[in-house]
Amino acid sequence: MKMKNRLGMFCLSLLATFSSHADDWFQISWSGTVRYQDAAGRMVAKGYSSRDVLNIIAVNYGLNASDLVLVYRPDAYDTAVVFKNASAMARAGVSQDAQVVADYIQMPDVTRVGTMWVTDVTGNGQTARQAYLFDEHDSPIGSICGIEKQRRDENNSIISESFHGTFQFSIQDDSHTIARPGVYSGTFSTGSRVKDIRNL
C-alpha cells in the first residue's frame, strides 16, 4: 500500500473517533467471483469474499484478519473494516477509539459525491436502491443494486437492518488499496449487529 493511501485511510479512522454517539454497524457478507489476467495472459476466475477483504486490510495494517469484521454503516452508505470487539483491540494493542481500521467501499459517500449517485425507490417498509461504488479514487468503480429494510426507534437509531443485493466493480491497476486488479461480481447481505464501542 502506498504511504499516501495509508495515511489517508488512517486519517479517516481518526475522524471517526470524534463521533458523539455509537454508530449503527452491521456485519456484511460479500461473496462472488473475481476475474483477472495471470502472468501467462490467461483469464483466471476465483472466488472472492469478505474474507479476502479482511485479509487485504490485515496485511496492509499488520493486523490479524481474525480480529476484524467487514461492516455496513447505513447512515453513511458505506462499508468499513473494524475490530470486532474489545478483546480483538486488546490483542492488537490499540485503544477502543481506534476500532475503525479502514474504509472499504462507499455506496457512495454522499458527503463527497452527493446524492446524485444514489437512486432510491421507497415503499411498503423497504427501499430499492441502486448506487455507484467508490474507493479512495474520485471516479466510480462499479455499482450495487439491492433491497434494504430497516426499523428505527424514537431516537432514529436502527433497531433492525436487512440489506441484500448484487455488486459489480472493477479495479484497473495497483493504485487501488482495496483489491487487486480485476473484474468483481457477486452478492451481498447484512447480518448481525457489530457494537460500536469507541465512546464507551
Record the pTM. 0.84
Q: What is the DSSP string of the chain?
A: --HHHHHHHHHHHHHHTT-SSPPP-EEEEEEEEEEEE-TTS-EEEEEEEHHHHHHHHHHHHT--GGGEEEEEETTTTEEEEEESSHHHHHHHT--GGG-EEEEEEES--HHHH-GGGEEEEEETTEEEEEEEEB-SSSS--EEEEEEEEEEE-TTS-EEEEEEEEEEEEEE-STT-SSS-SEEEEEEEEEEEE----TT-
**Tens digit of each residue's pLDDT, the chain (200 residues):** 443 344 344 334 434 444 456 899 999 999 999 999 999 999 999 999 999 999 999 999 999 999 999 999 998 889 999 999 999 999 999 998 999 999 999 987 777 777 888 889 999 889 999 999 998 888 899 999 999 999 999 988 899 999 999 999 999 998 888 889 999 999 999 999 999 999 77
Given a contact cutoff of 8 angstroms between Cβ atoms, the answer to whether 190 and 31 are in contact is no
Cis peptide before 108 (omega within 30 of 0): yes
Question: Structural domain boundaries of the chain?
Answer: 3-15+24-191
